[in-house]
């Protein structure tokens, strides 16, 4: 196994740090361009009606791409300069370029979505399109579709399972899931960039810990992407933190989700990566009834500001009793019984009305804590995120591994 490529990693780190500074400067520099292009939003949880530039993920994403483009030949320099490699590692090179193609395409389509306000069905289609190059590269490079079965299912399915084409479906869906999971855990200043920052930070720690393991190359590959992502997102987070002077836009959620999917798939640690997504998964599952409109879903589900106290409280979805299906009613009752949903019932004129809190993780936290100031709420959400990451990393280094043999996980 090859030694750790210290020089490329150091170069990558330095370029990432420079990229961070560049992003820090570029975001305020382009503010007027975005406002003129009408790419701005109003902060619904502030009393002032200032125009806040949107889609700033396009700036951090572009700096990321520039860093990566300049970095392309660096891991292979030893082949040219010292002629130290036995044969040019074409498959590693293809992997790098293919991954960048998927990410570049995703930033592009994400920005197009922000500008053109595409519909929900497009939000599922766009990541699928952008992940095509990834699937093609995987097909030609590895073609390995055998997974190690997670422990609970081994009695039923055996140790290994060849998913065949289902593995490609899984990869495509991973991209769709990661992008949208980050997108729906949103609504309070700094949460989108913050969660991505913490997830990427934990992946970096995980990669560093695994450098001493059997799959070093996979984790080095992941670091090449996660370091620039972390540093450019850090700069974005600085501007996006409470009170937000910029919003990240769907562009950022797409960009982040695809970058995570790429390192997870090509680094062969997608299952571990999903463990870092636990808050996003919980939020997604809790949101499912509203995402499928079984429980009525309003346009915005973010917490609501109480202008008198200056604190955020839960946001509510109000609808007529008779507009609710049997399944919806069942879900409401079960959730209320499990104490994860607050339901109010009342009468207005001839109609019976039902009100329930919007089914988001943020609302659930507000339910437990009571009305909270926005900055504190985001801090708590990010603490939850980091607690999950730390727990996973601890479990992992504590010897809990379910990977045996085959590198696919």
Per CB under 8 A, 98 contacts its own copies: yes
Nearer to its own copies among residue 50 and residue 90 (C-beta): 90
Residues in 380-399 that interact with its own copies by CB under 8 A: none
Nearer to its own copies among residue 168 and residue 238 (C-beta): 168
Considering the complex, what minimum distance in angstroms separates the CB of residue 240 from its own copies? 19
Instruction: Choose, by CB under 8 A, the member of 93, 215, 316, 353 that binds its own copies.
Output: 93
Instruction: Choose, by CB under 8 A, the member of 14, 44, 50, 73 that binds its own copies.
Output: 73
Nearer to its own copies among residue 35 and residue 291 (C-beta): 35
CA dist 84 and 282 (Å) reads 48
Residues in 150-169 that interact with its own copies by CB under 8 A: none
Residues in 117-136 that interact with its own copies by CB under 8 A: 117-118, 129, 132-133, 136
Nearer to its own copies among residue 21 and residue 209 (C-beta): 21
How far lies 389's CA from each of 61, 209, 278, 285, 382, in Å?
A: 24, 14, 9, 19, 10
Instruction: Choose, by CB under 8 A, the member of 100, 226, 273, 366 that binds its own copies.
Output: 100
∠ CA 227-241-111, rounded to 5°: 65
Contact segment (CB under 8 A) with its own copies among 98-106, 204-212, 223-231, 286-294 equals 98-106
Angle of helix 90-116 relative to helix 165-184, nearest 10 degrees?
Answer: 40
Per CB under 8 A, 226 contacts its own copies: no
Per CB under 8 A, 108 contacts its own copies: yes
Contact segment (CB under 8 A) with its own copies among 106-114, 154-162, 218-226, 270-278 equals 106-114
Per CB under 8 A, 171 contacts its own copies: no
Q: Are 370 and 233 in contact (CB under 8 A)?
A: no
Contact segment (CB under 8 A) with its own copies among 90-98, 232-240, 292-300, 388-396 equals 90-98
Per CB under 8 A, 137 contacts its own copies: yes
CA dist 138 and 296 (Å) reads 40
CA dist 234 and 251 (Å) reads 16
CA dist 84 and 23 (Å) reads 36
Nearer to its own copies among residue 101 and residue 365 (C-beta): 101
Per CB under 8 A, 84 contacts its own copies: no
Considering the complex, what minimum distance in angstroms separates the CB of residue 276 from its own copies? 28
Considering the complex, what minimum distance in angstroms separates the CB of residue 165 from its own copies? 14
Considering the complex, what minimum distance in angstroms separates the CB of residue 1 from its own copies? 21
Instruction: Choose, by CB under 8 A, the member of 13, 51, 76, 313 that binds its own copies.
Output: 76
Nearer to its own copies among residue 111 and residue 230 (C-beta): 111
Nearer to its own copies among residue 58 and residue 275 (C-beta): 58
Residues in 11-70 that interact with its own copies by CB under 8 A: 30, 33-34, 36-39, 58, 62, 65-66, 69-70
CA dist 371 and 357 (Å) reads 13
Considering the complex, what minimum distance in angstroms separates the CB of residue 375 from its own copies? 30
- # residues near its own copies by CB under 8 A: 43
Structure tokens at 301: 């589900």
Contact segment (CB under 8 A) with its own copies among 4-12, 103-111, 153-161, 394-402 equals 103-111
Which residues sit at the interface with its own copies, rule CB under 8 A?
30, 33-34, 36-39, 58, 62, 65-66, 69-70, 72-73, 76, 88, 90-91, 93-94, 97-98, 100-101, 104-105, 107-109, 111-112, 115-118, 129, 132-133, 136-137, 139-140
């Amino acid at each position: 196994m090859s030694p750790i490529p210290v020089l490329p990693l150091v170069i990558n780190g330095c370029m990432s740090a420079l990229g961070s500074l560049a992003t820090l400067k570029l975001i305020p520099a382009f503010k007027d361009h975005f406002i003129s292009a009408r790419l701005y939003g109003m902060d619904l949880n502030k009393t002032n009606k200032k125009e806040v530039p949107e889609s700033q993920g396009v700036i951090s994403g572009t700096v990321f791409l520039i860093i990566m483009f300049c970095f392309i030949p660096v891991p292979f320099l030893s082949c040219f300069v010292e002629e130290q490699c036995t044969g040019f590692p074409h498959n590693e090179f293809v992997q790098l370029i293919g991954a960048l193609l998927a990410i570049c395409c995703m930033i592009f389509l994400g920005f197009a979505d922000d500008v053109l306000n595409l519909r929900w069905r497009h939000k599922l289609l766009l990541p699928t399109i952008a992940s095509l190059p990834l699937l093609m590269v995987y097909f030609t490079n590895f073609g390995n579709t055998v997974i190690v079965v997670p422990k609970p299912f081994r009695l039923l399915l055996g140790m290994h399972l060849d998913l065949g084409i289902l593995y490609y479906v899984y990869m495509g869906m991973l991209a769709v899931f990661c992008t949208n999971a980050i997108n729906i855990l949103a609504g309070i200043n700094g949460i989108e960039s913050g969660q991505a920052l913490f997830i990427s930070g934990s992946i970096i720690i995980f990669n560093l810990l695994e450098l001493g393991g059997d799959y070093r190359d996979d984790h080095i590959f992941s670091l090449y992407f996660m370091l620039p992502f972390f540093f450019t997102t850090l700069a974005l987070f600085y501007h996006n933190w409470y009170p937000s002077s910029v919003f990240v836009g769907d562009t950022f959620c797409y960009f982040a989700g695809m970058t995570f999917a790429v390192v997870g798939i090509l680094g062969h640690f997608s299952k571990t990566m999903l463990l870092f997504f636990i808050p996003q998964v919980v939020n997604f599952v809790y949101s499912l009834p509203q995402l499928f409109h079984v429980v009525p879903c309003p346009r915005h589900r973010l917490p609501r500001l109480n202008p008198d106290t200056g604190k955020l409280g839960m946001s509510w979805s109000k609808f007529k009793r008779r507009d609710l299906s049997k399944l919806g009613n069942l879900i409401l009752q079960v959730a209320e019984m499990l104490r994860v949903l607050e339901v109010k019932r009342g009468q207005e004129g001839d109609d019976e009305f039902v009100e329930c809190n919007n089914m988001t993780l943020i609302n659930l936290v507000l339910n437990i804590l009571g009305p909270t100031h926005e900055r504190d709420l985001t801090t708590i959400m990010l603490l939850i995120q980091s607690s999950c990451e730390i727990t996973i990393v601890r479990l992992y280094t504590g010897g809990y591994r379910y990977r045996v043999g085959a590198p696919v996980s």
